Amino acid sequence: MRLENIVAAHALSKPDKTAIVCDSQRITFGDLHGSIRQMASALSERGVRQGDVVVFYLPSSIEYVQMLYAVYTLGAIAVPVTTRLSEPELAYICEDSQPKVLVFDAVETEKIQGLLDDLSKLTLISVGGDVKGAENFSELLNTPSGTLPDISVANDDCMIMYTSGTTGNPKGAIVTHANIIIQHCFINAVDWGINGDDKYLVVTPLTHRTGFARLSNSLTLGGTIVVMGKFDPDKVIDAVEEEKITVFGMVPTICRMLLPYIEKNPERCVSLRRIAVTGEAFPVGLKKRLIAALPNLKLFSFFAQTEAGGVTSLSHDEQFTHPESVGKPSAGIEVRIVDEDDNKVETGTVGELTVRVGEPGRYVVMRGYYNRPEQTAEALKGGWLHTGDLAYQDEDGYLYIADRKKDMILSGGFNIFSKEVEQVIIAMDDVEDAAVVGVPDDMYGEAVVAFVVNETADGPDAEKIVAHCKELIASYKKPKYVFFLDYLPRNTMSKVLKNDLRESAAALIGVSAEDQDITEASHA
């Protein structure tokens, strides 16, 4: 079963149904399938074959989807890259994946001109305008649909999704057609009660896992997806009302930004029946406000990884009975919490979360890392994906994420999970955001450092933050140092760059630690 064949089936059964809406553009399933075949023919004429890599440096658009499914049609492999990445970051991915084609937004030409010059021997395709040395997407789309080469079903690799790289260079996770179809056509449909009658809204880039997941939900189930190129709360509410959106995928930050608009005119959003939330912890207060405004809405949250797809799901009712949990494993997914020797730990004990769903690549777990056999073997040791997340499971089977394995702080022989300290600080009034890291400490091995973003100039100072932590968690977990920032450094996936914070902390403490051994407060 392949993704392009599912779209072809929808084109036969409902050719006139709108498949994608993006700004002022609309395209039906029939026209989408036809344009996919035309673009696949153009790529085939340029020598693209099964197993070849095509890098996408594009914003969310109908053209993105047309090119994506054309690549699938030839059995080639897509590498989506957000246009927020810099030229060196894009260059790294191109060097690592060795593409045959680079498709890019003409608007970004100046930004990546040096790379385009270096890659002049590749097939370069520009979208949205003419670029010297590149073929124009619109002209290629006029290629007559010809006979396309047969592809082997033995290899169904379809995408390389690069991990965020918060602890080093990004690695490319190989995702298969089966990974996407099992997750987004079957598991999500069962867990959340979504189907082909739904209209899906996505406000995150299609190059990101969350945006791509909602696209996959819609195109596999035969629904309609409304894609927003840029997030604008007013336009989001307009889209929900005008398009009668029923399913919305978001992160809590988007909910915070939209909620005042929803509360102001809830009748404009009455069509919403499902919201799927992932990312950071979803505060209970935020959930209650959303449900109060839209009482017929059902909330679902889940834990997912690039390498593992969706692992768990937390139902609407469980949002309030188990608000700190990421849910129970979805049907067919095995989880095991293990210690450093890969031995299963007791219920309630924190260990590394491992996941198994049959043979890697066949269901929802990635097939492996691209051109990294040693790291693949390490990640998939014993047939279990080692997620690098520290978690525990309660007696009822609910999973709780304690921390990323590399973000655990060992101080005075105690394990301190940075996420726990972060949640305590973020819960304070007038605190907007916080991140916690560990730094070397002569006495205890490592010390806890908190970087805090206050909402106002009158937000809590270092002393109040430390006192608050001492009230709610063990004293050894409290920050030894507190630094204040205007914002936390994040990558293009919105993950906090903790390596950067560790380096900043080391520099700041190196200057001040000789003069004082109490909590250091600074505005960095």
Please list the helix, strand and coil fractions of the chain in percent, rounded to the nearest 5, in that order.
35, 25, 35
Nearest by Cα to 97 from 45, 157, 150: 157
Q: How confident is the model at residue 89 (pLDDT cuts 50, 70, 90)?
A: confident
Cα 64 from Cα 74, distance rounded (Å):
16
Kindly report, residue by residue over 195-227, the tens digit of the pLDDT: 999 999 999 889 988 899 999 999 999 999 999
Amino acid at 456: T
pLDDT category of residue 516 using cuts at 50, 70 and 90: very low
| 128 touches 107 (CB < 8 A) | yes
DSSP category for residue 145: -
Whole-angstrom distance, CA of residue 512 vs CA of residue 505:
11
Which pLDDT score is estimated for 252? Answer: 76
What pLDDT, in 10s, does the model give residues 96-150?
Answer: 999 999 999 999 999 999 999 999 899 999 999 999 999 999 999 998 888 898 8
Contact 214, 220 (CB under 8 A): no
Cα gap 376→160, rounded to integer Å: 14
H/E stretch holding 83 reads none
* Residue that wins the pLDDT comparison between 347 and 147: 347
For residue 126, what pLDDT is reported?
Answer: 98
Answer yes or no: is pLDDT of 411 > 80: yes
**Can you give the pLDDT at residue 499?**
87
Asked if residue 431 has pLDDT above 80, the reply is yes
Which range, of 61-65, 156-160, 278-282, averages the lowest pLDDT? Answer: 278-282
Give 493's pLDDT tier (boundaries 50, 70, 90): low
Quote the CA–CA distance of 338 and 349 in Å, as a whole number. 9
Tell me: pLDDT of 84 over 90: no
Ordered by where they begin, the domains of the chain are 24-155 (3.40.50.980), 412-523 (3.30.300.30)
- Secondary structure of residue 236 in the 3-state scheme: helix
The number of beta carbons lying within 10 Å of the beta carbon of residue 397 is 13
pLDDT of residue 168: 58
**How many CB atoms within 10 Å of residue 88?**
10
Which three-class secondary structure state does DSSP give residue 385?
Answer: strand
Neighbours of 336 (CB within 10 A): 17
Of the given ranges (111-120, 379-388, 398-407, 474-483), which has the lowest mean pLDDT? 398-407
**pLDDT attached to residue 342:** 94
- What confidence tier does 513 reach under pLDDT thresholds 50, 70, 90? very low
Helix (H, G, I), strand (E, B) or coil at 343: coil
pLDDT at 454 over 90: yes
Summarised one tens digit per residue, pLDDT across range 148-164 is 988 988 789 999 999 86
Query: Which pLDDT belongs to residue 523?
Result: 42
No. of H helices and E strands in the chain?
A: 17, 27
What is the rounded average pLDDT of the residues 290-316?
Answer: 92
**Rounded average pLDDT over 359-372:** 95
**pLDDT(350) > 70:** yes
Residue 372 tokens read as 């990294």
Least confident piece of the model among 59-73, 391-405, 502-516: 502-516
